[in-house]
Every structure is written in C-alpha cells, then in structure tokens.
Structure 1
Amino acid sequence: MKFKFDWFLKGMLIAVALAFLWPAPGAKGGFLHPELLNKIGIALVFFLNGLGLSLAALKDGALRWRVHLLIQGCTFLVFPLLGWGLLKLSGGWLSPDLQTGFFYLCALPSTVSSSVALTVAARGNVPVAVFNATLSSLIGVVLTPLWMAWILGQSGGDFNVGPVIIDLLLWLVLPLVLGQLARPLLATWATRHKARIQIVDRLTILTLVYTSFADTVQQGVWSHYGPLVLVETVVGASLLFFIVLSLTRWLARVLGLPMAEQIAAVFCGSKKTLASGVPMAHLIFGANPALGLILLPIMIYHPLQLAVGGVLAQHWAGRPARD
C-alpha cells in the first residue's frame, strides 16, 4: 500500500491557501456565516459517521482485552503524557497556541477508516482494528475535552468544560445517534453510495479547515510568526509519531500478542483523527482566533501517519503466511 497524495490532502492545501488569499468570507462576520455553517457542518459529519458505523461489527473483536487496553492506553494515556512532556521540554520555544495544538493532537481519538484500511492491507487482525477504532472515537467525545480542560487549567487558562460538553452532546453525539437510528432505513442506501457520502464528508471537513484558517488570518495571528512555526510543527509531529509508533510496537511484543494483533495495535494506537479533530476543535475552542495554529499539528501529523503507515503495511503484507 503506497502513500497517495490524494484529492483530500491537496484540498487541505488549497483550503489553507484560499484562507490566506481570501479570508473574509470564512472569517467571523463573513458572508458564509461560519458561526452557523460550522455547526451545520459538524452535525453533518457526525450524522454520516453514525450512519456508517456498524456497532454489530464490534462483537468480533470484543473479547481480546489485552490488545484493547494497549490501544486505548496508548491513545488516551501515553499520547497525552508524551504531549505534556513535550510542552515541559519545549519551554519557551513553542508559542502557547502551538503548545495547545500539540496537546490537542495528543488528546484526540484514533482514526477509523485509515486504521482499518492499513490493518487490512498489512494482513492484521481486522476485527480488533474495527473494534478499537470505533471505541476510540466514542471515548474521545468525553476524554478529549477533559484532557484539554486539564492542560489549559495547568497553564492558567480559563476553560469551562460544561458548555463544551453540552456543545459536543448537541452537535456531535446527537447527530451520531440519529445516524445510528437511521441505519435500518438508510444503511443499504449508504452502502450503495459510500463513495459519494465520503466526498460530502471530506468536502465538509475542508470547509471547516478553510473557516478555521480564515479567521486566524483575519485576526492577524500569523503575522506574529515566521516560517519557523512550520518547521517546529513538522519536527514536533514527527518526533511524537515515531516515539508512539516504536513504543506501541515494543509493548505489543512485551505482551506477547500475535503478529496480526500487533499490527492492529500499531496502526490504531499511533493514529490520530483529522476527520473528527477539525469539527471537535470548533466546539472545544469556539471562536479562538488562533484556531488555525492550534489545528496545524494534526494537519501535519495526518499525512505523516498515512505515508509511514502505507510503507509499514506494504512491508508486513509480505511476511510469510504462517505468521
């Protein structure tokens, strides 16, 4: 499985470039009315996620508790602790908003589609990947804002978690539940039009990326930073990724997991979701003018995890059948 610079990654670059060239429509008060557009977009993304989420598929991998503890522990404990350590080590090197962005990356749940797709390509344990990728996205609704409340409280920031949880329930959990409830009526239609649904989903996320950066540009946030901020983000995201990748693989070996489960653990435990991360950021950080800077680490991390994951999947797919 080779890494492809697909239309979605190209779309992210175009959305960011458009935000810098023409920020007014997507900034606060612009004619796109981002305050309303973003909420509708978030609800649409999670309704489609709920529509495509087969909870029945979780049963196949539910009993393998050791690998589940490893994956969820890496996602919601090891990753945030590494992020906290990075913030302590970086000291004054990173701007406060970029520090928030790095910890937000670490607090996010795992991906669903790419974790499962890479596990399939590498001949790993697919039921384990499906179970943990789905479970991670559900746990993240609660743990991600709680982790952000803790880290922002540590830095002396004012973060009222109550309204954030209400927003998450209203614009994220409710559409997800409605999508699930609609499955008996629309599951066959959704399966038949899966490719088109994915395009709508990705275009919605690109719209959210545009509005995130447009407001940041309009508020003049980027004028305070030079090209160095991009270099810092690439280095930090790469460091985090390879530490977690190596640690997850080592722990899977220590636990004596079969190779197929090790593969699922590595792919699920090292991934972070951009698809859910962008909408959640709008709900957690609200009208923060530095939202584009906060999202920069996950936007760098996303293509990195796909590129390295594709190489690993290709390598593991060629192992002897007896493994």
Structure 2
Amino acid sequence: MKFLSRFYIDGFILSIIVVAVVASIFPASGGGQTVLDWATKIAIALLFLLYGARLHPREALEGLKHWRLHTVVLASTYLLFPLIGLALRVLAPTVLTDELYTGVLYMCLVPSTVQSSIAFTSIARGNVAGAVVSASFSNLIGVFITPLLVILLMNTTGEATVDASSIVDIVVQLLLPFIIGQLIRPWVTGWLQRHAAPTKIVDRGSILLVVYSAFSAGMNEHAWAGLSAWRVLALVVVCCAILATVLGVTAFAGRALGFSLPDRIVILFCGSKKSLATGLPMASVLFAGQPVGLIVLPLMIFHQIQLIVCAALAQRFARRQDQEPAASAPGR
C-alpha cells in the first residue's frame, strides 16, 4: 500500500476497480437488478442531499470577491474542456467507439474535484482558500451546468439523448435533494461534523453502487463485447493528451494573466480535474437506459491519471519552493 500511495492510488480507487470486475463477472439480473436500481437512486439522492448540507452558501458568495481567479478556473472546467471534447469527435468511430467518445465528451462536461484539488494545492503551497472556493463553486454550479451542457452539446451532436423524463430525474434525484440539504443545513451541520464516518460511507458507497450498476447493466446488454484492448489503450492515450493539454493551457494562462504563484497553482490544479464523485451519479441519471458502463469508463480512467500526474506536480512545486529560500540564503 505504501508503494501505491506514492502514485496516489488509494484503496477507494482499487475498490472501484474490484467492483467493476465483480459486476462484469456477476451482473445483477431480474429482481436483483430492480432492487439495485432503486438502491442506486436512493443513494444518489442521499449523496446530493449531503452535498447541499455540507456546502455553506457563504463560501460561494465570498468566493466572488476573487472573481478573476475563479473565472479562469470555471472557464477551464466548462469552456476549455468542452471545446476539447467536441474537437475529439474526429476520433470516432476510428480510434474511439461512439460510446467511448460519448464518455470522453461527458467527462469534459462534469465539474472539478473538491478534495483532491484542495489537497494538491495545499501540498504545492498554493492559495488554499482560493482552491476551497473555486472547487466548491465549480461543484455547486455543476449540478446545474453539467446537465445543461449535456442537453445542449450531446443532443445536438447526436452522441446521447436527454429527454423530458431525464430532466425530471435530474430535478428529483439531484437538484431537489441538494436544495433540501441546503435548507436543513443549520440543523445537521453539527451532526455531520461529529460523524464523519457515516457520511464517508454514503459518499463512497453511492459511487460503488453506481459503478456496480453501470457495469452490471453493461454486461447484461453485452456492451463490452466489441471493446478490444487496443481501444482501451487508445482511450488511455486520449485521456493523457487531454490532461496534458489542459495543464499546459492553465499554466500558460496563469502566467499570461499576471497571477501570483499561489493563484497559478489553484488554476493549475482546480482547472485541470474532473470529479468522479459527481460525474458517476450524474451519468446514471442522465444516461438511463444507455450503455452507462462504457460512458463512465473515460471518466474513471482520467480520474486515476489526473491523481497520479497532479500528485507528482504538487510535490515538484513544494520541492522548488523549499529550495528557493535555501538558494537565496546568505552565504549560499
């Protein structure tokens, strides 16, 4: 485990892989699939209720004071990434299958991560307060923007269909629980702070349920039958190329716009990530009845790549800042 931790591969990521393998070997069917579908819907609703209960509205409002920083982060998340996703349409169906490309485009539309963005910013000695607001605000508006972008970009490009029933599902399973969480926040905040373990179980358990449900449905629909090893390898290369492009653009933008180093670190880490925790539950709602297992595969692969690469970058920033004071010290 120590060896894996050096590459930021934690037990949760390994759990996701194990669940995906188990679902591929032992998919749910019949009455079991019905129970699984309802359990997944309830877990997703509970997850977004907790999101609403955790996020203090004041955090988003105060974040507007540093509007230049957050505007750049949001532009990367909801403008740069979608443009890259649309440009990659040329890869389907030759390099990527239509379903895999749908997954790549969807990945480009989901919000940024929260925990890892803040953690890497802290390790790199960046503006942690700015990272907290940027990442939280990205997830807050992502509940609204991601479904809208899916409807706008995927429906018009023919990659997926989000009909009226899906919009109702979005409201019932995502937005309504989130709003309820905001309303009950004053009464449950203390309990959530004192009982971190149950909320962590809901966080991770709901994602594992979504993964099992998605891959189980994929096996029942034979969605994996035509997916070859070289397609998966091509998908890994595409995810690496997307991350490298975004990291390069955000690094250049931070310098070109005259941001300080701590703020450039925020732009780099918050603007280059995509949230597995938010993206997977949304996918199960947005793409109900479609090959969700294939659609979420790019997001799962990209998530692991971004953790490994950004962990290395954060440590590099930290070492550089440790060396600079030593180099400038008297007598050196």
| Bin for the TM-score computed over the shorter chain | over 0.9
User: SS where residue 221 of structure 1 aligns?
Assistant: coil
Q: Which runs of 5+ in 1 are unaligned?
A: none
Greater Rg by CA: 2
Partner of 1:285: 287
**Contact 1:58/1:127, CA 8 A, preserved across alignment:** no
Question: Within 5 A, what are the aligned runs for 1:195-274?
Answer: 195-274=197-276
Q: Indicate the residue corresponding to 1:308 in structure 2.
A: 309
Partner of 1:156: 158
1:9 and 2:13 matched: yes
Q: Is this contact kept in 2: 1:61–1:127, CA < 8 A?
A: no
Residue identity opposite 2:317 in structure 1? W
1:298 equivalent in structure 2? 299
Which residue of structure 2 lines up, in the alignment, with residue 33 of structure 1? 35
Decide which moves more: 35-44 or 209-218.
35-44
Q: Which residue in 2 is equivalent to 1:188?
A: 190
Deviation at 1:52, TM superposition (A): 1.9
Q: Residue 168 of structure 1 aligns with which residue?
A: 170
Q: CA RMSD in A?
A: 2.1
Using structure 1 for the length normalisation, give the TM-score.
0.92
Which amino acid is the alignment partner of residue 302 of structure 1?
A: H
Q: What amino acid sits opposite 1:135 in the alignment?
A: F
Q: 8 Å contact 2:100–2:294 — kept in the other structure?
A: yes
In 1, the alpha carbon distance for the partners of 2:158 and 2:202 equals 39
Q: Measured at CA, do residues 57 and 148 of structure 1 come closer, stay the same or move farther in structure 2, by a change above 3 Å? A: closer
2:162–2:286 Cα contact (<8 Å) kept: no
Do the aligned residues in 1 keep the contact of 2:118 with 2:128 (CA within 8 Å)?
Answer: yes
Please give the alpha-carbon distance, in whole angstroms, between the structure 2 residues aligned to 1:146 and 1:213. Answer: 25
Structure 2: gaps of 5 or more residues: 326-332
Determine the C-alpha separation between the residues in 1 that align with 2:237 and 2:182: 39
After TM superposition, the score normalised by the length of structure 2 is 0.90
- Please tell me whether the aligned partners of residues 160 and 287 of structure 2 are also in contact (alpha carbons under 8 angstroms): no
Q: Deviations over 1:211-234 (max 9, x none)?
A: 100000111111122212211211
Q: In the alignment, is residue 143 of structure 1 matched against residue 145 of structure 2?
A: yes
Higher mean Cα deviation, 253-262 or 142-151?
A: 142-151
What secondary structure does 1:224 align onto? coil
Aligned to 2:321: 320
Taking the aligned partners of 1:235 and 1:320, their CA distance within structure 2 comes to 31
How far did residue 81 of structure 1 move?
0.4
Q: Which moved more, 1:134-143 or 1:216-225?
A: 134-143
Q: Give the SS at the match of 2:108.
A: helix
Rate the CA distance shift 1:134–1:86 in 2: closer, same or farther, 3 A: same
Which SS does the other structure have where 1:33 is aligned?
Answer: helix
Q: Contact 1:2/1:314 (CA < 8 Å) preserved in 2? A: no
Query: Paired residue for 1:81?
Result: 83
The question of whether the paired residues in 1 share the 8 Å contact of 2:110 and 2:274 is answered with: yes
Per the TM alignment, residue 29 of structure 1 is displaced from its structure 2 partner at its CA by: 4.6
- Aligned pair in 2 of structure 1 residues 303, 61: CA closer, same or farther (>3 Å)? same
Once the two structures are superposed, what CA deviation does each residue of 1:190-246 show, in whole Å capped at 9, x if it has no partner?
A: 112224421331022111101100000111111122212211211111110111011
Deviations 1:52-71 (A, max 9, x none): 21233345532122111111
Q: Which one is further off, 66-75 or 89-98?
A: 89-98
Moved over 6 A (4+): none
2:162 and 2:287 in contact (8 A); partners too: no
The answer to whether the Cα contact below 8 Å between 1:118 and 1:309 also exists between their aligned partners in 2 is yes
User: Residue 126 of structure 1 aligns with which residue?
Assistant: 128
| Residues in 2 aligned to 1:166 and 1:212: alpha-carbon distance in whole angstroms | 20
